[in-house]
Structures are given as C-alpha cells and as structure tokens.
Structure 1
Amino acid sequence: MLVINFKSYEQGFKQAETIAKAAAKYNAVVCPPFTLLRELSTLATTFSQHVDPYEYGAHTGSIIPVELASIGVKGCLINHSERRVSKDHIEKSVTLCKKYGLTTIVCAKDDKEAAEYAKFGPDYIAVEPPELIGGNVSVSSARPELISDTVNAVHDVNGQIKVLCGAGVKTGEDVRKALELGACGVLVASGIVKADNPEERIKELSSPIRDRYS
C-alpha cells in the first residue's frame, strides 16, 4: 500500500487532481486536505488526514466518521506526528470508523507505541520516527531495525494488523527495503507532493509494492 499524504503543502492544493489521478492509476491512496476530500474521492481511493471520535452533535470543528463515509472517503489517518491525539481518542476513533466502514491507519512514533495501539485493532499501524519526517533520509535506511521491531511488536498483539512505515521515503529502493523488513507499504508526503513530476514518483514508489503483491 502506498499512501500519499498531501499535508497542507501548496503543491498539494495546486496539483490535487493530477496527483489523485496518478494515484488511482497505480492503486495508491491519497490523503488530501479536508476541503478536497469530496472532490478527490471521485477520482481515487481517499483517506482523511484526521478524524474525531464523535457521532452527530455539538462538536464544533470536528471531522466525524459518519460524514466522511457519506462523501465517499474510504479511511482515515489517526494520530499522525503532526496531529497527535490521546489514546482514548485513538481507541474511540478506530471503533467509530469500523462502524462506518472506514479503514484505519494509526500512526506511532516507535515499536512500543505501536504495540499499545495494536490493542485497539486498527487495520494498519504506520511507524514514523518524528525526527526523520520531512527529511531526505529514509527510515528504512536510517533506522531499519525500527521497522522490523514494530512488525514483531504489533504481530505479538494482533497478527491481523498490517504495518506501514514512513518518514523520509523518497525512492523505490527505500520502499523495497521497507518491504524486506516486513512492512506492507509506506506513507509518503513531500517525496511525492513536492516532486517535480509526482506521477513518475508515484510510479517509482509503487513499483516494489506491485511487484511484491501482484
């Protein structure tokens, strides 16, 4: 699985449709800003960058699962390093997302956090060391043991949960290494969204995943 997080990069807004169409072509997931969710959900598999654990009610500014599902969103990121939330928030969000058929990716900073969050039963856990996010050194190169340790820690709790990794992923080789270490895919942001040619980068990064799972 290749997950493309647009964050709030200017390039993500300006090239949203182009990136989404390329993502669909190579079976990748896009996580655009909230204002683009409805539009891009008609073009590609679309996840929200955040979700709040509420039903309808007096929850000003909240992003609620029932409405995400109603506009065609297929899943959510939860607890990204730039949008950290409490354990209670994570657990309740996973539960509500399941109720409305949304796939969940819970982000963790290390293998210990990942093991804790695995108890909540998300579909995926993504390990992303904060110090490497947005940089040019991939987690699979700088801290390869973190990926394998996280896979083992998560599967000790729940063998059904799949593990992703992110932070500094820029090349197909970065992805290949991550897969060899036990991850089933990667989260990428600036490596695609800020690339000179996002479609070519999506093709490159998705290639090892397609080769592994085709």
Structure 2
Amino acid sequence: MIVAGNWKLNTTLIEGLNLASRIEDSISKLGPMEVRVIAAAPYTHLDRMVNSTDRIDVFAQDVSRHESGAFTGEVSAGMLKSIGVKGSIVGHSERRAYHGENDELIHEKIQMCLQHDLEVIYCCGEQLEDRKNGHTMKVIERQISKALSKLNVDQFDSLVIAYEPVWAIGTGETATPRQAQEVHEFIRNWLKQNKGEEVSEKTQILYGGSVKPGNADELFQKPDIDGGLIGGASLKAEDFIQIVRAAG
C-alpha cells in the first residue's frame, strides 16, 4: 500500500520540515507495516526534506517536459534526481485545469521522469459533467491510453496510477468506495488488456479525492485500491497518520 501526501501550495520551509518530522515520529511508533509513505512537497522544501527524512520518500508535485534550456520557471527531471528526489506527480487535475496540460504533454513528462530514473505518480480522472453523462470510463480510457500506451512493460515498475475524480478534489465530496472500485477495476483491466497480466497485477492504483480518516479504511478495503493520494488531510500530521494506519 502507498499513502502519498500532496502538499500543493502549502507550508513554508520550516512548517514543512516540522510537518515531515511529526509524520516520521508517528510512523516510527506504528511498528512494522507494509505501507510506503510519500510526501510531494513544494520545490523549495525538497533538498532539505531529502536530507532530513528516513521513512518518507520525497516527491515533487510536477516536473518539466524539457531537459534544459530557456524555459523560465521550469524544473527538470535531472535537477530533481540530482538532489535525491525519488519521483514526481504528473498530470494532476489542477495542472490540467490551470496550466492547460493535455494528455500528450503529460506523456512527455512521464517519459522525461523515467529517462532520469524518477518514479511517477500519474493522475487521471473525470469531471462531474463526465460522470453525470455516463462518460467516466470513456474519459479515463482516453487519458490513460494517450499517457501510457507507448510505455514499455519494464517502465511500469516505476509508475503508480492515481485515480482522482475531479469533482471530489478539495470539495469534501468523495466517490463512494463502490464508485472508486469500479474505476480502479476498469484501469486494471485496461492494463491487463494492453500491457499484460503481470503489469496489471503489480501496478499500484491509488485513489485521490477527499480521502480522510473517516473514509480511508472503507476505501482501502476494496480489492483494486492500493492506497491514496491525499490532499488536505496530508497537511495535518494526526489525520495523515490515521490514513497511514488504515492502509496498514
């Protein structure tokens, strides 16, 4: 199981280091468990967090599709790798909505990460209108086909998929465990049909969309849900640890 916190545009450096420290202390008290804990922190925190955490894998929240050059404000996969970052989120719905990122660009970012030996948490998900119109699976299939079809089987060793229904992000709304499981099962079947049974079985699929202590246990009991991509609840150490405990 994986529990990944996406801190988004939150915390100063000192606040972030304190949050990471509290999470690590709490993890150490939980005892042995097969849960991987990830924190996707702001760029300004990454170097210090890499060097001050032992039980948390540090990820970026985004990465450039470019190797280098005149791209003001961009941070490359090579730069992230050079400071010890483990991987990056790619394709988050907020990047799609606010920065116009499309499936082709997201595929390029995935490839850039993999070329530099960075892991990827690839995000996909439908809008509320898509769900109301019965187009959820059509949207998901389009997204994952364009982003993942060209990857070879070995590259899936470094890829995690996160299903995040856009209508449930930061809204307090959550897909029911049944709704989430239906989409996760669809994604796993797509992997089986297009990349083979081994990839389908080993690829971890996270749920992201207002996961909190009160619903984590029921979500994580579903057979095709392998953990969560956590937003708001990852900023409160106590809430985040309760979710980690549910995954364990």
**TM-score strictly above 0.5:** yes
Distance 1:62 1:53 in 2: 9
Aligned position for 2:149? 119
Cα distance change on mapping 1:161 and 1:142 into 2, 3 Å: closer
Distance 1:54 1:23 in 2: 33
Cα distance change on mapping 1:24 and 1:189 into 2, 3 Å: same
Distance 2:171 2:208 in 1: 11
Distance 1:71 1:118 in 2: 27
How many residues matched? Answer: 205
Distance 1:86 1:80 in 2: 11
Distance 2:178 2:241 in 1: 24
Please say which structure displays the higher CA radius of gyration. 2
Cα distance change on mapping 1:142 and 1:183 into 2, 3 Å: closer
RMSD: 2.3
Aligned position for 2:130? none
Structure 1 position 172, deviation (Å): 5.7
1:114 counterpart SS class: helix
When normalised by structure 2's length, the TM-score is 0.73
Distance 2:22 2:14 in 1: 14
Distance 2:150 2:242 in 1: 33
Choose between structure 1 and 2: higher helix proportion: 2
Aligned position for 1:128? 164
Structure 1 position 187, deviation (Å): 0.4
Distance 1:135 1:155 in 2: 32
Distance 1:117 1:209 in 2: 28
Distance 2:90 2:209 in 1: 16
Structure 1: runs of 5 or more not aligned? none
Q: Which amino acid aligns with 1:68?
A: L
Cα distance change on mapping 1:116 and 1:152 into 2, 3 Å: farther
Distance 1:147 1:71 in 2: 33
Structure 1 position 13, deviation (Å): 5.4
Structure 2: runs of 5 or more not aligned? 28-35, 127-139
Q: Which amino acid aligns with 1:131?
A: W
Structure 1 position 161, deviation (Å): 2.9
Distance 1:19 1:155 in 2: 39
Q: Is the 8 A contact 1:106 1:125 kept in 2?
A: yes
Distance 1:7 1:52 in 2: 17
Moved more, 77-86 or 116-125: 116-125
Cα distance change on mapping 1:182 and 1:95 into 2, 3 Å: same
Aligned position for 1:104? 120
Structure 1 position 48, deviation (Å): 0.6
Equivalent residue for 1:71, pick from 83, 100, 109: 83
Same amino acid, percent of matched pairs: 23
Aligned position for 1:36? 45
Q: Is the 8 A contact 1:48 1:76 kept in 2?
A: yes
Structure 1 position 14, deviation (Å): 5.8
Aligned position for 2:242? 204
Equivalent residue for 1:147, pick from 184, 197, 208: 184
Deviations 1:26-45 (A, max 9, x none): 34111111111111122231
Deviations 1:37-77 (A, max 9, x none): 11112223111100111112222211100000011111000
Does 2:92 match 1:80?
A: yes
When normalised by structure 1's length, the TM-score is 0.84
Structure 1 position 99, deviation (Å): 2.0
Aligned position for 2:216? 174
